[in-house]
Structure 1
Amino acid sequence: MFDRKVVRRRRAALAVLVGLSLLLLTVSFGGAAGGGLSAIQRGAQEIFQPIEEGASRVFKPVGDLVGWFGDAVDAKKENKQLKGERADLRRRVAQLETERRDAEQVSSLEALRRGDAFPDGYKTVTARVIARSPTVWYSAIQIDAGSGDGVRENQPVTTGDGLIGKVTTVTGGTARVELITNQGSAVSAQVMPVGANGIVQPEVGNPRDLLLEFVEKGRRVRRGQTVVTSGFTSSKIESLFPRGIPIGKVSRVEPDEVELYQRVHIEPYADLRRTDFVDVLIPREGERAQRSP
C-alpha cells in the first residue's frame, strides 16, 4: 500500500518546483523587458541549474526509451513499406519476363512462317497452350483455337523451332494436340541432306529422345544432320504432314548388327516443356485439308 505521508511530501515538493519554475519564467521575461533583474536571474540560475541537470540525468533514460520506441515504430513502418515495394517489384519482373518469353515465341513463329521451311499452300492459326496432359506431360496439350478458327483434325502443329504434333480432337474454341513425344505418335521423316527415310517415334522412357526407325544401313547418317518431315503422299510411309518441316537433329546413330536397319536418335528442336504458343497449319483453298495416314 502507498504511504500517504510520502505521497503528500512528493506532491508538496512538486508544487514547490512548479512555483519556482513559474517564478523563474517571470524573472526571465522581466529581465528581458527591462534589464533590471539580471542579478535575480543569475541567482535563480545558480539555484536551479543543479536541479535541472539532475532532472535531466534522471529523465534521460526515459527520453531515450521513448525515442527508441518511436524509432522502432518508424522502422517497422518503413520495413513494411519496403517489403511491399519489393513484392511489387518481383511481380513486375515476373510479368516482364513472361511478356518477353511470349514475344520471343511469337516472333519465332513469324520467323518460321517467313522461312524456307514453311510449306507452300498453307496458312496458320496462332494459338496459346491452355492445358497439358495431367498424367503424361509429354503426351498432349490443349490450345485455345478450334473449329471456329478453321482448325480440323490431323492438321500439323508447330512452334517457331519445328514440328510438335498434330490435332486429334476439336471443339468450337479449343483443340487437343497429340505431341510427337507421345508413345502413339509416328511421323514419316527424312535425314537431310542424305535423304535417308524412316519413321520418327519417341523412345520409351525418354521423351526428349526421338528415334528414326527403319533407316537403311547403307545410308551415311551423321551426328548433327537435320531431320524434317518427308511429306510423302503415295507410299508405304505416307505422311500427314507437308514436306520439309524441321523436327530435330541427329544426336547419335546405332547400327543394328542383326536387322537391316540402323537406329537414329534425334534431339527435337522444339522444347515441349516450355511451349506457350503454337501455329496450326491449315491448308489454303484448293489444298487437301487432310491426308490419309
Structure 2
Amino acid sequence: MYDRKTIRRRRAVLALLVVSSVVLLTASFGGNGGVGSVQRGVFEIVSPIQDVASRSLKPFRDLFGWFGDTWHAKGDNKTLVKTRDQLREQNGSLQAEVRKLKEQYGINRVIATANIGNLGPVEARVVVASPTLLFQKVTINKGAGDGVRSGQPVVTAGGLVGKVDVVVGGSATVTLITDPRFGAGVRLAQSGITGTMTASGGDPEDLIVATTKQNAPVSVGSTVVTRGTSTDVRLPSLFPPDIPIGKVTTVDDAGTDTQRVHVKPFVDVRNLDHVMVLTRDAATVP
C-alpha cells in the first residue's frame, strides 16, 4: 500500500502540471512572450520541411487520385454501357413494332381494295419458311381452331401470298404463288385483259400469265390482280377479285395466241413474317 507521503507527493506533482498547463495556454493565446517566440521559432524551422515533404508527396497523391478517378470512371462506363444496351434493346423492340404496324397497315389496304365479301381476315405469323430454293411453302401459326380451312387465300402487305394447303389444329401450311402447281385466274387492272397465272418453276421473282385473247395489248408496268369468281358459278374462284399480285416486266411473243406475260410479284416470298388468311364462315364451308 502507498503511504501518505507518497500520495501527497503525487498530488503536488499533479497540481504543478495543471498550473503549468494553464500558464502555457494563457501565454499561447496571448501571442506574446517567450512561448510565442518559441512557437514562431519552431514554425520557421518546421515550415520548410513541411513544404519539401508536401512537394515530395504530391506525385503519390496525384497517383492515388488518378487510381480513384479511374475506378470511378470504370464504374460510370459500366453504367453507361448497361444503359446503352437497354436503349438498343428498346429501340429494336420499337422498330419491330413499327414494322408490324406497317405490315398490318399494308394488309388492311390490300383487304380494303379487294372485294372479300363475307371472308373474315385471320392474322397469322410465319413460323417455318420453305427449305427449298423455289420457296414453295411456309407454315403459319393458325389452324383449324382459328377457322382456317384448306384452299383459303393468304395475303400480306404486298398482295397475294398463296393459299392454305394442309390444316391441323393450331397451324397450317401455305402453298405460295411461286409453287409450280399454283394457279389463279388474273386480270390486268388497266386493260381488263384476263388470263391464268402460274409460277415459272425456277425464279421466285417471275410469274407467267397466259392471256386468253389473241392480239390482246399488254403493256409493261401494268398491274396484275386476281380475277375473282368467273361468270360460271359452278366453278367459283378461290380468290376474291382485285387482290394485287404484281407488275408486268416483259412479254414473250407479243400479239400472238401464245404470248406469255412475265410478272414480278409484289410479295417477296423469301421474307414473309405476318400474313392474313381470308377465312370463310364455318357454316358456309362444305
TM-score class, shorter-chain normalisation, is 0.7 to 0.9
User: What is the aligned partner in structure 1 of residue 225 from structure 2?
Assistant: 228
Q: TM-score, normalised by structure 1?
A: 0.77
- In the TM superposition, residue 39 of structure 1 has moved relative to its aligned partner by 3.0
What is the CA–CA distance in structure 2 between the aligned matches of 1:225 and 1:118, rounded to whole Å?
A: 20
Report if aligned partners of 2:126, 2:273 keep a CA contact under 8 Å in 1.
Answer: yes
The verdict on how the C-alpha distance between 1:230 and 1:31 changes in structure 2, with shifts beyond 3 A counting, is: farther
Q: Does 1:250 align with 2:248?
A: yes
User: What is the aligned partner in structure 2 of residue 175 from structure 1?
Assistant: 172
Runs of 4+ in 1 over 6 A off after TM superposition: 29-32
| Match for residue 107 of structure 1 among 86, 93, 105 | 105
User: What is the aligned partner in structure 2 of residue 35 from structure 1?
Assistant: 31
- One-letter amino acid matched to 1:59: L
Report if aligned partners of 2:158, 2:267 keep a CA contact under 8 Å in 1.
Answer: yes
Aligned residue for 2:205, secondary structure, equals strand
Identity of aligned residues (%): 38
Aligned residues: 258
What is the CA–CA distance in structure 1 between the aligned matches of 2:163 and 2:67, rounded to whole Å?
A: 67
User: What is the aligned partner in structure 1 of residue 200 from structure 2?
Assistant: 203
| Match for residue 118 of structure 1 among 115, 119, 123 | 115
What is the CA–CA distance in structure 2 between the aligned matches of 1:44 and 1:118, rounded to whole Å?
A: 106
| Match for residue 69 of structure 1 among 42, 54, 67 | 67
- In the TM superposition, residue 210 of structure 1 has moved relative to its aligned partner by 2.0
| Match for residue 91 of structure 2 among 67, 90, 93 | 93
Aligned residue for 1:261, secondary structure, equals coil
- One-letter amino acid matched to 2:225: V
- One-letter amino acid matched to 1:111: R
Q: Does 1:272 align with 2:269?
A: yes
Matches within 5 A, 1:12-27: none
Residue segments in structure 1 that go unaligned for 5+ positions in a row: 1-28
Taking only aligned residues, the RMSD between alpha carbons, in angstroms, comes to 2.7
The verdict on how the C-alpha distance between 1:48 and 1:202 changes in structure 2, with shifts beyond 3 A counting, is: farther
User: What is the aligned partner in structure 2 of residue 134 from structure 1?
Assistant: 131
- In the TM superposition, residue 232 of structure 1 has moved relative to its aligned partner by 4.4
The verdict on how the C-alpha distance between 1:49 and 1:190 changes in structure 2, with shifts beyond 3 A counting, is: same
After superposing the two structures, state which structure 1 stretch, 184-193 or 152-161, moved more. Answer: 184-193
Report if aligned partners of 1:165, 1:180 keep a CA contact under 8 Å in 2.
Answer: yes
User: What is the aligned partner in structure 2 of residue 143 from structure 1?
Assistant: 140
The verdict on how the C-alpha distance between 1:48 and 1:190 changes in structure 2, with shifts beyond 3 A counting, is: same
| Per-residue deviation, residues 39-66 of structure 1 (Å, max 9, x unmatched) | 3333222211221122122222211211
- One-letter amino acid matched to 1:84: K
| Match for residue 263 of structure 1 among 257, 260, 263 | 260
The verdict on how the C-alpha distance between 1:34 and 1:145 changes in structure 2, with shifts beyond 3 A counting, is: same
- In the TM superposition, residue 92 of structure 1 has moved relative to its aligned partner by 0.5
The verdict on how the C-alpha distance between 1:51 and 1:117 changes in structure 2, with shifts beyond 3 A counting, is: same
Residue segments in structure 2 that go unaligned for 5+ positions in a row: 1-24
| Per-residue deviation, residues 107-162 of structure 1 (Å, max 9, x unmatched) | 2223333x242322322212122221234473222212110111111111111331
**Which structure shows the higher strand fraction?**
1
User: What is the aligned partner in structure 2 of residue 17 from structure 1?
Assistant: none
Aligned residue for 2:204, secondary structure, equals strand
What is the CA–CA distance in structure 2 between the aligned matches of 1:215 and 1:184, rounded to whole Å?
A: 20
Q: Does 1:166 align with 2:163?
A: yes
